[in-house]
Structure 1
Amino acid sequence: MSTARTAASTLITVAPTGAETAKVDVPALPTTPEELVETAVACERAGAALIHIHVRGRDHQPTLDPVLLKEAVDGVREATDLVVQLSTGGAITDPLEQRLTVLDADPDSCSLTCGTTNFGDGVFLNPWGFMVDLYRLAQEREVVPEFELFELGHVHALRRLIDECGLPHGGKVHVDFVTGVPGSMPGTAQALLAGVAMLPPEVTSWSATGIGRAHLPIAAASLAAGGHLRVGMEDNLMFAKGQPVGHNSELVARAAQLATLLQRPPMSTAEARAALAIKDRRTR
């Protein structure tokens, strides 16, 4: 079992865009560089300390274009003090070799999914060799990975990664349980707590997100069990029954209110950087 202790405050991550939802279907989805920066500023103000970014092209489609990735990182970094995390998953159709180039954009953090998983009607491919290559590249670049766990088997893969590759840059191990994806781990408290019970002792912090209707139950379970929160329109497009999310900051503000009610108020960006051992890449 992980030795990670209940934190006095809560790391709130916002995942504002993702790669699955079409802009034409959800106009409020931030897909342009300007919308991304505006979203980052508003979400930092609402209580987020970390932003998980999927980049879209001028056509609003998911892209791993290196110029646009760097533009996103630099834009958010200049406008906020948020920890800037890039997704290395991209869209599930992106080739593995191209996904490794995400770190060229010099983010503070990157996602590292700990195994292949069913993803709706598709398959999110993360073979062992790719995981090791990404982990070692992150260590070399001094980028802190967030280990994304979609399945209980991914917890075992994390154990194997640490055994083979050692600790990440800075020595902290932060994981995020992504629950409720069709075909993967269900968005239930029982499944989440089973995963938490399996975490290696090297894990220093963990968060969780629930897709769609699992959003609030997983947030409540995570906070109650000492975990942190990920929210955002990548994972959930409805604020309440019959009420679409109008802006990512609405989800962040609700998460911050929930965390504060449970006497674990939102972490500041400085606290998040210390908790995750983030290398300071800011120049201002």
Structure 2
Amino acid sequence: MIIAAPAGVARGDVPHLPVAPGELLTAAQACEQVGASVVRVDVRGSDGLLSLDPGQAAEVVAALREGASLAVLLSLDGPDGASDADRLRVLDALPDSASLALGAPGGGDRWEFAVAAHEAMRERGIVPEYSVSGAGQLALLRRLLDERGLPAGGLVHVGLVLGAPGGLPGDADTLVSLVRELPEGALFSATGLDRAGLPVLLAALACGGHLRVGLADTPEYAEGQRAQSTTQLVARAAGVARIAQRPPLSGAQARELLGRRAPVRV
């Protein structure tokens, strides 16, 4: 399962960053053609800034659902300082999955928000991606599952984000140690930020995991060489996956893996 993440960086950093629903759809279609299974959506306003506007979220999800076969994973991150209520409101767009960051910016956990989002997604039948980027967050996830039960569909999907400043190191040893600590039966996807991209990609494939790639994570294709697009990064990940005899899943196969046998309709 290859998760394409085309829109999670600042537009000033990447001038061709897709923002409007039509732009995101075009990017998603291109990524799908080269091996993406899932598209991660960071909703942005016309100014290119992160947004949690529920209308924009619904418009983007509807456009992707209409024009592509990829499963849709909606980010709940939003702009700095956004309220938890605003983050939860975008779930009304009914994506297939939504990314729930278990760590707070600057450190610490997000227990109250994690509980609220976990239960809101279960009520809507949305599969969470529990995003882990710092030490102690897997312990918070285990507590969440112990106290609040399994998410929608019973699948625990953990998104490992390695190499963030102040977060978990972006190397194979760290990834392997995290995989050993995952809840029983959980599946995981992983991404390495910046120069951690390739080491984490290779280690994730070797450990039986899935991949997240895109300009949101790795703006450079190689040292000193800017990535042209998320499509370029997805194509590389798909090629490496085939070499590892882990061929990319289709959108329908990814949705089935996540327990979403048919798209959620808005």
Which of residues 71, 81, 92 in structure 1 aligns to 2:59? 71
Determine the C-alpha separation between the residues in 2 that align with 1:60 and 1:227. Answer: 32
Matched, 1:110 2:98: yes
Q: Structure 1 runs of 4+ off > 6 angstroms?
A: none
Given residue 6 of structure 2, which amino acid in structure 1 is its aligned partner?
P
Cα distance change on mapping 1:186 and 1:91 into 2, 3 Å: farther
Worse overlay, 59-68 or 86-95: 86-95
Unaligned runs of 5+ in 1: 1-10
1:82·1:269 contact (CA, 8 Å) conserved in 2? yes
The residue aligned with 2:170 is: 187
Aligned-partner SS, 1:152: coil
| Residue 279 of structure 1: how far off its partner (Å) | 5.4
Cα distance change on mapping 1:282 and 1:149 into 2, 3 Å: closer
| Residue 48 of structure 1: how far off its partner (Å) | 0.6
Determine the C-alpha separation between the residues in 2 that align with 1:128 and 1:226. Answer: 29
Given residue 257 of structure 1, which amino acid in structure 2 is its aligned partner?
G
TM-score (norm 2): 0.95
Which of residues 119, 125, 129 in structure 2 aligns to 1:142? 125
| Residue 202 of structure 1: how far off its partner (Å) | 3.7
Which of residues 193, 217, 230 in structure 2 aligns to 1:248? 230
2:102·2:140 contact (CA, 8 Å) conserved in 1? yes
The residue aligned with 2:21 is: 33
Aligned CA-pair RMSD = 1.6
Determine the C-alpha separation between the residues in 2 that align with 1:25 and 1:184. Answer: 22
The residue aligned with 1:234 is: 216
Matches within 5 A, 1:50-129: 50-118=38-106, 127-129=110-112
Cα distance change on mapping 1:282 and 1:135 into 2, 3 Å: closer
| Residue 282 of structure 1: how far off its partner (Å) | 5.3
| Residue 22 of structure 1: how far off its partner (Å) | 2.7
TM-score (norm 1): 0.90
How many residue pairs get aligned? The number is 266
Per-residue CA distance 1:226-266 (angstroms, 9 max, x = gap): 11110011111111122211111100000000000001100
2:76·2:87 contact (CA, 8 Å) conserved in 1? yes
Worse overlay, 74-83 or 125-134: 125-134
Matched, 1:209 2:197: no
Matched, 1:24 2:12: yes
Per-residue CA distance 1:18-61 (angstroms, 9 max, x = gap): 1xx33233212112222111000000111011111101111111
Aligned-partner SS, 1:36: helix
| Residue 273 of structure 1: how far off its partner (Å) | 1.2
